Amino acid sequence: MTTEERLETLEKELARAKRRSRRLLAAVGLVAGAVALVWVVVGAGCNTQGGKVPTVIRAGRFQLVDENGSDRAVLTVDKDGPSLTLLDENGNDRALLYMFREDEPGLLLLDENGKTRARLHVDKDVPGLDLLDENGQPCAGLYVDEDVPALALADENGNDRAVLTVDKDGPSLTLLDENGEAIWQAP
C-alpha cells in the first residue's frame, strides 16, 4: 500500500471518528437534558412547598441508574471542575465529557479496560482529535492551529513521524526521524 493510500485510509478513519464523536456529543447533551428534566419532574412531584417548583436545583452530583440500580451516567462538579461520565453495563467508564480548566474542555472515549483511546479537546483555542493506542500513546492526531489543519501520524513511542498540513499555499508533507528531525519534505 502506498503512502498516499495509507493517508487516504487514515483520513477516512478520522472522518468516521469525527462523526462518531459528534453523535456521542449529541447523546451526552440528551443525557444531560434528561437528567435535568427528570430532576425537575421528580422534584415537582415531591415538593411540599405548595406545589411551587424550584427555579434552581443545586447539587454536587447527579446519578442516572438503570433498571438494576447500577450507575450509567454521573454528572459531577468538584474541585477539578464539571464532568459527565457515561458507564457501560459493567460499571466501567466509557466516555467522559469534562471542563477541568476553563480553557481546555474535552471528551475522552475509553475502551472496555478503561484506557483512553480517543480524545477530542480544545487546548488554548487549538481544537484537536487524538487517537491513542492501548498503551495511551498517540498514534494519530488531527489539529487546526491558526486556521491551518494538520494530520500527524506517530510511531509506537508517540513521536510524530509524518505531518500533513494544508495552508494558503497548498498541502505540505513532512517525514520525521525518531528524534523529530525532518528527513523529507514536500513541497
Cross-strand pairs, 182: 176
In whole angstroms, how far apart are CA 64 and each of 41, 59, 89, 91? 14, 14, 12, 12
Structural domain boundaries in the chain: 3-46+59-186
Chain mean position to CA 65: 23
Which cell numbers in the block locate residue 118?
480517543
What does the alpha-carbon distance between residue 18 and residue 40 come to, in Å, rounded to a whole number? 33
Can you say whether the dihedral through the CA atoms of 124, 158, 183, 128 is positive or negative?
negative
Helices and strands (H and E) in the chain: how many:
1, 12
Q: What percentage of the chain carries pLDDT values higher than 70?
A: 76
In whole angstroms, how far apart are CA 116 and each of 119, 138, 171? 7, 10, 31
* Predicted model pTM: 0.68
Can you say whether the dihedral through the CA atoms of 159, 146, 12, 135 is positive or negative?
positive
Which cell numbers in the block locate residue 57?
436545583
Band (143; pLDDT cuts 50, 70, 90): very high
CATH architecture of the domain with range 3-46+59-186: Alpha-Beta Complex (3.90)
Mean pLDDT, the chain, whole residue set: 83
Q: What is the mean pLDDT of the segment spanning 68-86?
A: 90
What is the biggest distance separating any 2 CA atoms in the chain, rounded to whole angstroms? 75
**Continuous H helices in the chain:** 3-46
The pLDDT tens digits of the residues spanning 104-140 come to 789 999 999 999 999 999 888 889 999 999 999 999 9
Check residue 124 and give its pLDDT.
81
